[in-house]
Amino acid sequence: MYAEFDLTIPENLPEALKALGVAGKRAVPLSGGTNVLVDIRSQRIAPDCLLDLGHVHQLRGITVEQGRVTLGARTTVGDLLASAEVARYAPALVEAARVFAGQMVRNAATVAGNVACGSPAADLVPPLLALDAEVTLSSVRGSRKLALADYHVGYKSDRREADELITAISWPVPAANAFGGFYKLARRKGDAITVTGVAVSIGIDGRRCDRARIALGSVAPIPMRARKAEALLEGAEMTPDRIAAAAAAAMEECSPIDDVRATGEYRRHMVGVLVARLINAAIQAASKE
């Protein structure tokens, strides 16, 4: 490691919140370390202190209670892959977890860390957006919940106050008629940054759509919902024309840039392709039920 920092290792959540309350902006919470330590090494961040949450075991775990699935903030990507509840209530999240980095990063990286890193290419965020996920933020002042869709406000910028810690991510158990998926377009299956990521969740009532969520990664400063595309589908009959219109709307809504991985034009084109493909796959999955 090139930069120096102090390390605090609290033994439980109250200690962690207290330490964060004192240190504020000078401290960065550390969980899996797969973003924070890389960012320190590459000199993108230079915190005075890291708050290692490795001993705060109460933050790790998956529960299903009162119609909500809740992930403790330290639940790892590997934990998602091993969970029968997540497989049942968030299959698109499992698809994203499968193609997340490499195995050892999956063993360490946490769901909350992927949300907190603020990257537009954070692969777990589009499926969580499609699930209407909420973020729980806690501090010594108390706890509050925010819709994940409101959490990120700009590139690597979010609504977490300096003394707050993400303690949980949760979402309502999806309706029985919800179908969807996630697709990561990247150069390889493992160890690759996403060129375009799309998550879709469609409530299918006969030929009609009663709920639509379309979330896009790597095509805007933050992972985003394609709300115009969603509005075109909700309440409508899902004809090929309507699906094409929704895909075209999603292409309009995103704002991809050119970078080393792809051109913005290619990314925008693939948003259209993948949105239509995932909606059709959801309709097909529903017809098999």
Where do contacts with other proteins occur on this chain (CB under 8 A)? 1, 3-7, 9, 30, 32-34, 37-38, 40-42, 50, 52, 54, 98, 101-108, 189-191
Nearer to other proteins, 106 or 268 (CB): 106
Smallest gap, in angstroms, from Cβ of residue 218 to other proteins?
18
Smallest gap, in angstroms, from Cβ of residue 33 to other proteins?
5
CA distance linking residue 197 with residue 218, whole number of Å: 6
Nearer to other proteins, 9 or 64 (CB): 9
Smallest gap, in angstroms, from Cβ of residue 187 to other proteins?
13
Q: For residue 24, is it left (φ>0), alpha (ψ between -120 and 50) or beta?
A: left
Smallest gap, in angstroms, from Cβ of residue 53 to other proteins?
10
Nearer to other proteins, 116 or 129 (CB): 116
Q: What DSSP string describes the chain?
A: --S--EEE--SSHHHHHHHHHHHGGGEEEESS-TTHHHHHHTTS---SEEEE-TT-GGG--EEEETTEEEEETT-BHHHHHT-HHHHHH-HHHHHHHHTSS-HHHHHH-BHHHHHHT--TT-TTHHHHHHTT-EEEEEETTEEEEEEHHHHEEETTEES--TT-EEEEEEEEPPPTTEEEEEEEE-SSSSS---SEEEEEEEEEETTEEEEEEEEEESSSSS-EE-HHHHHHHTTSB--HHHHHHHHHHHHHH------SS--HHHHHHHHHHHHHHHHHHHHHHHHT-
Nearer to other proteins, 25 or 44 (CB): 44
Smallest gap, in angstroms, from Cβ of residue 217 to other proteins?
19
Nearer to other proteins, 7 or 176 (CB): 7
Smallest gap, in angstroms, from Cβ of residue 170 to other proteins?
26
The contacts of residue 33 (CB under 8 Å, 6+ apart) are 108
Nearer to other proteins, 13 or 108 (CB): 108
Smallest gap, in angstroms, from Cβ of residue 263 to other proteins?
24
Nearer to other proteins, 6 or 259 (CB): 6
